[in-house]
Amino acid sequence: MNMKTSPRELDGVDWRSYAAVYDLMAEINPAYQELVDAYRRFATQLWLHPDDLLLELGAGTGNFSLVAADEWPKCRVLHVDANEGMNDQARRKREALGLTNVEMRTQDVATLELPDESVTVVTVVHALYAFPDPAAVIRRMFRWLRPGGSVFACDPGRPLDMTEWARYLFQSSRAERGWLRTAWLFWRGRDVARQNRRIARSQVAGSYWRHDAQSFARAFTDAGFEVEFSRTAYRGASDLLVARKAVATAAVPLRRQAVEAPL
Ligand SMILES: C[S@@+](CC[C@H](N)C(=O)[O-])C[C@H]1O[C@@H](n2cnc3c(N)ncnc32)[C@H](O)[C@@H]1O
């Protein structure tokens, strides 16, 4: 399958306007919160050294990079996102949490240069599909990772049924917050639905990467990774995996144990 995407459409996602309301969606979306919980479980299973570098690509408002920084205060976290609006939100949260070990960098992943074997963990959540050449990014992740290092990757591989998702989000929020607050949140967050419809249109049109669990895992094994764990996530819309760059002789394990279900 050719994973190289065509040039962005005029109708592409407006990440800047998405940034302003992204965390509203995150707050009312139990499926997203489950992903953050799975990531925290993954992060607590790592076995890292002070100063190790944890990299996140397409890191958005920092819901994953800040978990990594919080779990591993002696390690360095590099949060990379092309959108300054997303990074502004992430910086605000970093200040509120008082975390000093995470750098937010505004850069397109296509131009990111890091030394080979300088990174211990790469995280990429709901962002690979939007990169112009996901396969090339996965190959570069492999180069940047030191032997024994891990990737946590989750990506929506199929267009979302936006009507069904709106119903799910509305019902779960109404049960927790009541009608009025939920209606207000939906009104404030209406741009989330607009941007998600654009994402779904780009997936249908083939300009965003589509995959199932097998083809997602294959993209990593083709780049040289060993896939240790994979499952679907985000109510079946996304594929999630943990992969590892093998070491010839694993002198120093970077995780207490191989990742096991449930993540
Ligand atoms: C749906 S958001 C996911 C954010 C975060 N990973 C999360 O799950 O909350 C996708 C992010 O990818 C970023 N992005 C898209 N294309 C990018 C590129 N070429 N380089 C870097 N970031 C990019 C967007 O700015 C956006 O913040």
For residue 239, what are the domain limits? Answer: 22-158+209-244
140 assigned to some structural domain: yes
Cα(245) to ligand 1 centroid in Å equals 24
The amino acid at residue 211 is: H
Instruction: Report the separation in Å between the CA atom of 251 and the middle of ligand 1, taken as the mean of its atom positions.
Output: 35
Q: How many Å apart are CA 136 and CA 131, to the nearest integer?
A: 10
138 in Cβ contact with 119 (< 8 Å)? no
* CATH label of the domain that carries residue 91: 3.40.50.150
- Tokens 């109510």 sit at which residue? 235
Is residue 189 over pLDDT 90? no
Residue 200 has pLDDT above 90, yes or no: no
Q: Name all residues whose Cβ lies below 6 A of ligand 1.
A: 15, 58-60, 63-64, 81-83, 86, 108-110, 125-127, 130-131
Tokens 């989000």 sit at which residue?
169
- Distance, in Å, from the CA atom of 216 to the CA atom of 224, rounded to the nearest integer, reads 13
- Of the CA atoms within 13 Å of residue 46, those in its CB half-sphere come to 29
Burial class (CB in 10 A: 0-12, 13-18, 19+), 247: middle
Ligand 1 center–CA 178 separation, angstroms: 31
222: which 2 tokens? Answer: 């083709």
Number of domains in the chain: 1
Question: Tens digit of pLDDT for each residue in 105-127?
Answer: 999 999 999 999 999 999 999 99
Least confident of 106-115, 155-164, 209-218: 155-164
pLDDT score recorded for residue 6: 39
Q: What is the pLDDT of residues 15-74, one digit of tens each?
A: 877 887 889 888 889 999 999 999 999 999 999 999 999 999 999 999 999 999 999 999
Say if CB 32 and CB 237 are below 8 A apart: no
Query: Separation of 31 CA from ligand 1 center, angstroms?
Result: 18
Per the domain annotation, does 184 fall within a domain?
A: no
Does residue 136 register a pLDDT over 80? yes
Q: Is residue 44 part of a domain?
A: yes
The answer to whether position 3 is within a domain reads no
Q: What's the rounded Cα separation, in Å, for the pair 116 and 3?
A: 24
Task: Give the contacts of 67 (CB within 8 A, at least 6 positions apart).
Answer: 36, 39, 40, 43
Task: Say if residues 150 and 229 touch (Cβ distance below 8 Å).
Answer: no
Return the best residue to mutate from 86, 107, 194, 202 for the ligand 1 pocket (most ligand atoms within 8 A of CB): 86
